[in-house]
Amino acid sequence: MPAMGPVAKQGQGMKFIIAIIKPFKLDEVREALSAIGVAGMTVSEVKGFGRQKGQTEIYRGAEYSTNMLPKVKIEIATSDALAAQVVEVIQQTASTEAIGDGKIFVLDLASATRIRTGEAGDTAL
Amino acid sequence: MIRKILCGAGALGTSLYAATAAFAQEAAATASAAATPAPEATASAAAVATTLIKAPTVEQMAGMVNKGDTAWMLVSSALVLMMSIPALALFYGGLVRTKNMLSVLMQVFMIVSIAALVWVGWGYSMAFTSTNSIAPAFVGGLDKAFLAGVTSGTYAATFSNNVYLPEFVFVVFQMTFACITPALIVGAFAERVKFWPLMLFMVLWLTIAYFPIAHMVWYWAGPDFLPDAPTDYGYLWGKGALDFAGGTVVHINAGIAGLVGCLMVGKRVGFGKEATPPHSLTMTMIGASLLWVGWFGFNAGSNLEANGVTAVAFINTFVATAAAALSWAVVEQIHHKKPSMLGAVTGAVAGLVAITPASGFATPMTSIYLGLLVSPICYFFVSYVKNKLKYDDTLDVFGVHCIGGIVGAIATGVVADPALGGQGYFDYTQFPAGVGAYDMGAQVITQIKAVLLTLVWSGTVSAVLFYVIDKIFGLRPAEDAEREGLDLSEHGERAYNY
């Protein structure tokens, strides 16, 4: 059973970053993150809303207000040192200065393990 | 908003009325141009008339069969089957949610299968015979049950003296109508009905509603036999009701059964609160397009021959539909600022429904008017009336098929008038058949009577059948099963596995 990662010490822990962005910004964000050394990420297609309103769809007289808008969610596990830079890069690249650009959340990450080798901690990222 | 729609409908109606005067003059001009070669035509017609055989024997009928007619009718039958599967199945299926897709496909597919068996069992006999019947004007007997006496050497009459089809061809063609009519009904209560009770309903509905109405509107002794048996016809046929391909028999019939059904089965769980947008308008468009192509078999094939009138029905089916699709798109542009794909195909189907009873009687130009007219009317019913009265006619069987059928049936009385270029009324009590005098007012009243009789008969039979079947077997699935989706709860499968 792989060992749990080291308890996060100040400056040596890990962060889990969740960013919700507009779908067409994905490629730009990915390239910008590569440039600062982010090795991988998980991308999913999601629906959601904030202050951006959806459209009204009408099917034969039946009206539906869709509050849900298609977005892309990026999840990145990163070391504490890189976290702030990642947030800044995502914010700058994904912004169109319009409502609906999205949000970035940072969570503390308790452990990370590479499945192939069983390595844990920072080296697993 | 509603005022705009009514104004638009009023404008269309006024232009229809005004234009008919113009076209009547055109029609008269064409008629007088055609009158010049008439003396030749009457001479050859007289020559032909002396060789026409009244009440031919089966051996004589064998010599009156044309390979072109037979080939066309077999192709038409295949086209009409295609209208049920896959056209109607996909048209309806795309409009429901993913979790109910298979239930729609299954219901349509199995109704077609079961109806075909019922048709060759007792349907054909009940619809198209009149011997040994308790009430020959309203329904036939069982002399041809299980196709007794029908062989490759027996024949069915057409609308022309001394022109026959192999009887099996007529059986097969009409069978496809008996298959699609009950399948239309399921749209009204889609997503909330149990499979086997529904199949039972269809067998009984065919027997008690469809076969008698088909008999009343379409049964007659044929042009070579009617003069000698001048009351051997169905009740509405005898009244002079005109229904070329099934406005009353198919669309009004199924439409009112659908309305009664959706009211008695009740609304879907979550209706009005939960979003139920169509899961695949792509499928719906495929279905609608196949319906349009197949409908050429439905309408033009109803002429039972391959001739000029068949071509009239064919082109009417083409242009009425085109006009209706455009009309619906324009109405949506005015009402919602955006024309939708669903609206366009719904308009096309409404146009097809409306032209069905009129297809062999109208002219292309009057068909276009009918197409332009029916879309705003059906639009009004599927959006305003349905939302106001809040009944859950899921796929608009009443709003499109019943209302469109009523518009078409009544309009048939107008467009069939020779003064508007229509085919007019044939007096089949004479031999050979001749053109009778046409009274538009009286004809429209006859059409209305046929519509009312169909509404009452089918509505009542449907109500009784739904009630009884619900009491004995239950029509609706449990709420959990309905929420889970009929595909899983009734059929144990998923339409999409990804």
C-alpha B33/C-alpha B289 separation (Å) is: 39
Chain A to chain B, count of Cβ pairs less than 8 Å apart?
Answer: 26
Is residue B75 within 8 Å of B297, Cβ to Cβ? yes
Give me the pLDDT at residue B273, please.
Answer: 87
The percentage of chain A sitting over the pLDDT mark of 70, rounded to a whole number, equals: 90
Give me the pLDDT at residue B2, please.
Answer: 54
User: Which residues have a Cβ under 8 Å from the Cβ of B6 and sit 6 or more positions away?
Assistant: none
pLDDT in tens, B208-217: 999 999 999 9
DSSP A48-99: E-SSS--PEEEETTEEEE---EEEEEEEEEEEHHHHHHHHHHHHHHH--SST
What SS3 state is found at B107?
helix
Residues of B in contact with A66 (CB under 8 A): 275
Residues 396-415 (B) with a CB less than 8 A from some CB of A: 396
Q: What are phi and psi of B403, to 5 degrees?
A: -65, -45
Q: Within a domain: residue A9?
A: no
Beta strand pairing call for B164-166 and A102-109 = unpaired
Q: Within a domain: residue A7?
A: no
Q: What is the CATH number of the domain that holds A118?
A: 3.30.70.120
User: Which residues have a Cβ under 8 Å from the Cβ of A117 and sit 6 or more positions away?
Assistant: none
Residue of A60, A64, A66 lying closest to B382 (CB–CB):
A60
C-alpha B492/C-alpha B486 separation (Å) is: 8
Residues 323-342 (B) with a CB less than 8 A from some CB of A: 336, 338, 340, 342
A15: left (phi over 0), alpha (psi -120 to 50) or beta: beta
Integer angstrom CA distances of residue B199 from B102, B384, B451: 15, 32, 26
pLDDT in tens, A56-115: 888 888 888 877 899 999 999 999 999 999 999 999 999 999 999 999 999 999 999 999
| Chain B: residue whose CA lies nearest to A64 | B275
Q: Within a domain: residue A97?
A: yes
Taking an 8 Å cut-off on Cβ atoms, the answer to whether B340 and A58 are in contact is yes
The arrangement of strands across the sheet holding A69-79 comes to: A42-48, A69-79, A14-21, A102-109
Name the amino acid, one letter, at B77: S
Residues 264-323 (B) with a CB less than 8 A from some CB of A: 275-278
* Nearest-CA distance A66 → chain B (Å): 9
Give me the pLDDT at residue A58, please.
Answer: 86
Contacts for B267-272: CB closer than 8 Å, 24+ residues apart: B267/B390, B267/B391, B267/B392, B268/B191, B268/B192, B268/B392, B268/B394, B268/B482, B269/B192, B269/B479, B269/B482, B269/B483, B270/B483, B271/B392, B272/B390
- Examine the pLDDT at A3 and tell me if it is beyond 80: no
Taking an 8 Å cut-off on Cβ atoms, the answer to whether B275 and A64 are in contact is yes
* Nearest-CA distance B276 → chain A (Å): 9
Residues of A in contact with B346 (CB under 8 A): 60
Q: Within a domain: residue A103?
A: yes
* A57 inside 8 A of chain B by CB: yes
ipTM over 0.85: no
* Nearest-CA distance A64 → chain B (Å): 7
Does an H or E element contain A45, and which? strand A42-48
C-alpha B308/C-alpha A20 separation (Å) is: 65
DSSP summary character for residue A39: -
* Nearest-CA distance B275 → chain A (Å): 7
| Chain A: residue whose CA lies nearest to B399 | A60
* Nearest-CA distance A25 → chain B (Å): 26
Sequence-ordered alpha helix ranges (H) in B363-484: 364-379, 386-389, 403-415, 440-472, 479-484
The pair of structure tokens assigned to B289 is 């397009």
Give me the pLDDT at residue B14, please.
Answer: 52
Contacts for B326-329: CB closer than 8 Å, 24+ residues apart: B326/B372, B327/B12, B327/B351, B327/B371, B327/B372, B327/B373, B327/B374, B327/B375, B327/B376, B328/B375, B328/B376, B328/B378, B328/B379
* Nearest-CA distance B400 → chain A (Å): 11
C-alpha A91/C-alpha A15 separation (Å) is: 17
* B345 inside 8 A of chain A by CB: no
The whole model's pTM is what?
0.87
Q: What are phi and psi of A108, to 5 degrees?
A: -75, 135
Residues of B in contact with A64 (CB under 8 A): 275, 277
What SS3 state is found at A43?
strand
Taking an 8 Å cut-off on Cβ atoms, the answer to whether B340 and A64 are in contact is no
Q: Which of A59, A60, A63, A64 to mutate to test the interface with B (most CBs of B within 10 A)?
A: A60
Beta strand pairing call for B155-157 and A69-79 = unpaired
Packing angle of the helix pair B211-218, B167-185 (nearest 10 deg): 130
Q: Which of B333, B381, B383 to mutate to test the interface with A (most CBs of A within 10 A)?
A: B383
Residue of A60, A64, A66 lying closest to B342 (CB–CB):
A60
Q: Within a domain: residue A70?
A: yes
Opening angle at CA A23, ends A20 and A26, nearest 5: 85
Taking an 8 Å cut-off on Cβ atoms, the answer to whether A58 and B275 are in contact is no
Taking an 8 Å cut-off on Cβ atoms, the answer to whether A60 and B383 are in contact is yes
| Chain B: residue whose CA lies nearest to A57 | B277
* Nearest-CA distance A115 → chain B (Å): 26
Give me the pLDDT at residue A123, please.
Answer: 84
Give me the pLDDT at residue A66, please.
Answer: 77
DSSP summary character for residue B431: S
| Chain A: residue whose CA lies nearest to B395 | A60
Does an H or E element contain B81, and which? helix B67-82
Residues of B in contact with A57 (CB under 8 A): 277
What SS3 state is found at B47?
helix
Give me the pLDDT at residue B424, please.
Answer: 92
Give me the pLDDT at residue B213, please.
Answer: 98
* Nearest-CA distance B273 → chain A (Å): 10
* Nearest-CA distance A2 → chain B (Å): 32
Residues of B in contact with A59 (CB under 8 A): 277-278, 340, 342
Q: Provide the 10 A C-beta neighbour count for residue A37.
A: 11
What SS3 state is found at B130?
coil
What SS3 state is found at B427?
strand
Taking an 8 Å cut-off on Cβ atoms, the answer to whether A58 and B386 are in contact is no
Is residue B205 within 8 Å of B114, Cβ to Cβ? no
* Nearest-CA distance B389 → chain A (Å): 13
Residues of A in contact with B96 (CB under 8 A): none
Q: What are phi and psi of B426, to 5 degrees?
A: -100, 135
* Domain tally, chain A: 1
- Examine the pLDDT at A52 and tell me if it is beyond 60: yes
C-alpha A87/C-alpha B359 separation (Å) is: 68
* B388 inside 8 A of chain A by CB: no
pLDDT along chain B (498 residues), means of 10: 50 49 40 40 48 94 97 98 98 97 98 98 98 96 98 97 98 98 97 98 98 98 95 96 96 98 96 91 98 98 98 98 98 96 98 98 98 98 94 96 98 97 91 91 97 98 98 97 97 94
Name the amino acid, one letter, at B322: A
Integer angstrom CA distances of residue B5 from B9, B173, B336, B397: 6, 39, 12, 21
Taking an 8 Å cut-off on Cβ atoms, the answer to whether B343 and A60 are in contact is yes
* B476 inside 8 A of chain A by CB: no
Taking an 8 Å cut-off on Cβ atoms, the answer to whether B383 and A61 are in contact is yes
Determine the structural domain holding residue A104 and report its residue range.
14-124
Which CATH code for domain B2-20+62-491? 1.10.3430.10
Q: Which of B413, B474, B420 lies closest to B445, judged by CA? A: B413
Residues of A in contact with B383 (CB under 8 A): 60-61
